[in-house]
């Protein structure tokens, strides 16, 4: 978390202290807020499996504000914890007006998916071609931005667009076609025209966590870090679109753990 964002939440109006060992929220309970960790360490579990830990500057509970009113996991205070509570209205305002906050949220999602990827790889079910597709939601069509772009990459049906474990410095917008996103041979989602792929690696700087394969002939526009920053600043609701899409795919990955 940047110093500016941490400073913002240290002066936040609504904060709370949680004793070590206390459950901050439990999986599947109804929710209307997220939290920023101001002090201490929080352990996150999903489907009763350890997922991650968050310390100062970390975010927890944000999935409940992205397409679902239920908690996707459980958060427990490992130490005494101080939290800033962010309700749905404040979250929406920050996502639309604060680029630093938007990037923080996206990078947190990328980190969660890397953690889930490790759980799936260690699972006895890894390698079985079982589908866990999220509901398709498309609040905006990014392909419209690239309609007149001539510098598009073309991939024939069946070819690999992104390979798991490869270094990724760009993401793509599907301008034509459909592509399958998979983790360890299991389909996570289908990306359609106007959606993005490869955003996890771009945001985190880590190797690609999924494989993306062209289901049909595809044309894609490439977005590097500078272009991504421009979209974040200039395209209304772009940050919310990316976050909602990432949350949908993360929920599908959680279902893989369940299965």
CB 11 within 8 A of CB 67: no
* pLDDT, position 125: 46
Q: What is the dihedral of CA 124, 126, 128, 132, to 10 degrees?
A: 110
Q: Which of 57, 58, 55, 61 is nearest to 73 (CA)?
A: 61
CA–CA dist 198, 227 (Å, integer): 14
Cβ contacts of residue 172 below 8 Å, gap of 6+? 153, 161, 162, 196, 197, 198, 220, 221, 222, 223
* pLDDT, position 4: 78
CB 37 within 8 A of CB 5: no
CB 187 within 8 A of CB 129: yes
Q: Give the C-alpha distances (Å, rounded to integers) separating 95 from 91, 92, 178.
A: 6, 5, 28
Q: What is the pTM of this model?
A: 0.78
The domains found in the chain, sorted by start residue, are 3-90 (2.60.120.10), 122-258 (2.60.120.10)
CB 74 within 8 A of CB 21: no
* pLDDT, position 123: 60
Q: Which of 259, 224, 245, 18 is nearest to 113 (CA)?
A: 245
Locate all alpha helices (DSSP H) within the chain, ordered by sequence.
Answer: 3-10, 88-97, 99-122, 199-204, 225-234, 238-258
CA–CA dist 120, 129 (Å, integer): 12
| pLDDT mean by block of 10 residues, the chain; 259 residues | 79 96 96 95 92 92 84 96 96 89 86 78 51 49 75 94 88 94 88 90 84 96 90 84 84 77
CA angle 31/34/38 to nearest 5° reads 145
* pLDDT, position 209: 81
* pLDDT, position 75: 97
* pLDDT, position 103: 87
């Amino acid at each position: 978390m940047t110093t500016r964002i941490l400073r913002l939440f240290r002066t936040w109006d609504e904060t709370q202290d949680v004793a070590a060992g206390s459950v901050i929220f439990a999986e599947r309970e109804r929710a209307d807020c997220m939290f920023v960790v101001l002090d201490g360490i929080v352990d996150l579990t999903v489907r009763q499996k350890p997922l991650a830990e968050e310390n100062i500057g970390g975010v927890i509970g944000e999935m409940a504000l992205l397409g679902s009113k239920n908690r996707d996991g459980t958060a427990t205070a490992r130490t005494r914890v101080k939290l800033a509570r962010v309700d749905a209205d404040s979250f929406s305002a920050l996502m639309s007006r604060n680029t630093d906050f938007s990037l923080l949220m996206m990078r947190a999602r990328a980190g969660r998916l890397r953690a889930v990827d490790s759980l799936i790889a260690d699972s006895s079910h890894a390698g079985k071609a079982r589908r866990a597709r999220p509901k398709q939601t498309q609040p905006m069509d990014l392909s419209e931005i690239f309609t007149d772009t001539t510098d598009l990459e073309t991939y024939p049906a069946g070819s690999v667009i992104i390979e798991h474990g490869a270094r990724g410095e760009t993401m793509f917008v599907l301008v034509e076609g459909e592509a399958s996103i998979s983790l360890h041979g299991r389909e996570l989602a289908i990306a359609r025209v106007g959606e993005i792929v490869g955003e996890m690696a771009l945001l985190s700087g880590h190797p690609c966590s999924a494989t993306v394969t062209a289901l049909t002939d595809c044309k894609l526009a490439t977005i590097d870090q500078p272009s991504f920053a421009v979209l974040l600043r200039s395209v209304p609701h772009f940050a919310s679109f990316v976050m909602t899409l990432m949350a949908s795919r993360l929920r599908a990955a959680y279902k893989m753990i369940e299965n």
